[in-house]
Amino acid sequence: MSSGCISVFNELPEEYEQYRCSYAKPLFISTPVADIIYHERHLRDCSISNHVVIAKKPVVMQPVISEEYSSINCMLQGSLKICFDEQEPIWQLQGQYSVFQFGDQRLRAFLRPGVYEIQHFNYNISLLRHHQELADVLEEWASAAENHRCAKVSHYSGLIWDGLYQIIKEIKNTPVNTQLQKCDMEYRTKHLLLKLVDNLSDTQCIDEDIYETIALYLKNNMDKKITLQDLSLRYAMSSSKLRQGFHKHFGFTLMEYFTNERMKAAKQMLQEGLNSISQIADSLAYQSASAFSKEFKKYFGVAPTKSMIKNVI
């Protein structure tokens, strides 16, 4: 692709405003095959960055890595394959995070048309060395950095649990303009390193528990209209395998699980009394308040009114 095909801007188009992060100014890159939104904030011993890629057609991207760095990658949206040189491709699945050591090896990312968002937490090797005795993952990570080995450090990936989604959301929405704000963000980023590594150390073959990852994605995206076809594309498996595997893993269907989580969320919102029926229906991606009310009554046996919620068990 010639340089004439690439346009770079320091502001986001209106249709991409939802991807803005408060901790840094955006960099927007537009090409015929993909639009890229990039935010980065450097801190002491660490940095945070957010990449959003809107792929317009199938594309293989080869990021330019100017120096080695150690990163925890949280896949917030989309699933993609990455490959270091001639190594076997590694799947980065939506709803999971992984530990990587990046360097001067060629890295390729394979994307289908769609939206991909990755939140990166990057750390200096000195910080890894300082904490390496706390966990095997940290020791392996520091060793990979010292030996200039580029790869996924731990065989396993971790699930982005509810609390982690909330932490990432807060980080993305926090301005970093003053020295005090920089210190606060640095503390959060370093604390997150230990929290994520500790969780990863307790992981038991999480790569095989793809259905737990899908369940967490559903739970954290109840405001979106989600279909079986959409999930099969995101997690690179056939609709039939996804449907059957999910049912085998949990004992109920994918849609039964999704309905159950939405109804629990609706009940809590009604109990808190902070939302109208229409607002609740909208926040849970129902087509209308009546459609939501019908499903709520079918599920709980009572209409979703604040006066009746006390009767819901």
Predicted pLDDT of residue 220: 80
Whether 43 and 96 share a structural domain: yes
Whether 161 and 54 share a structural domain: yes
| Token pair for 13 | 């188009």
| Token pair for 24 | 């840094």
The residue range of the domain holding 290 is 221-311
Whether 102 and 173 share a structural domain: yes
Question: To which residue do tokens 């503390």 refer?
Answer: 187
Whether 147 and 293 share a structural domain: no
Bridge partners, 12 (sequence order): none
Is residue 216 included in any domain, yes or no?
no
Is residue 214 included in any domain, yes or no?
no
What are the tens digits of pLDDT across the range 91-121? 888 888 988 888 777 789 999 999 999 999 9
Cβ-based neighbours of 98, under 8 Å, separated by 6 or more: 72, 73, 75, 90, 92, 152, 154, 157, 158
CATH assignment of the domain containing 236: 1.10.10.60
CATH assignment of the domain containing 105: 2.60.120.10
Whether 169 and 278 share a structural domain: no
Q: Which of 159, 181, 209 finishes a domain?
A: 209
| 184 Cα distance to chain centroid | 22
What are the tens digits of pLDDT across the range 35-51? 999 999 999 999 999 99
Give the pTM.
Answer: 0.71
Domain count, the chain: 2
What string of H, E and C letters represents the secondary structure of 222-250? CCCCCCHHHHHHHCCCCHHHHHHHHHHHH
Is residue 215 included in any domain, yes or no?
no
Is residue 190 included in any domain, yes or no?
yes
What are the tens digits of pLDDT across the range 45-70? 999 999 999 999 999 998 877 777 88
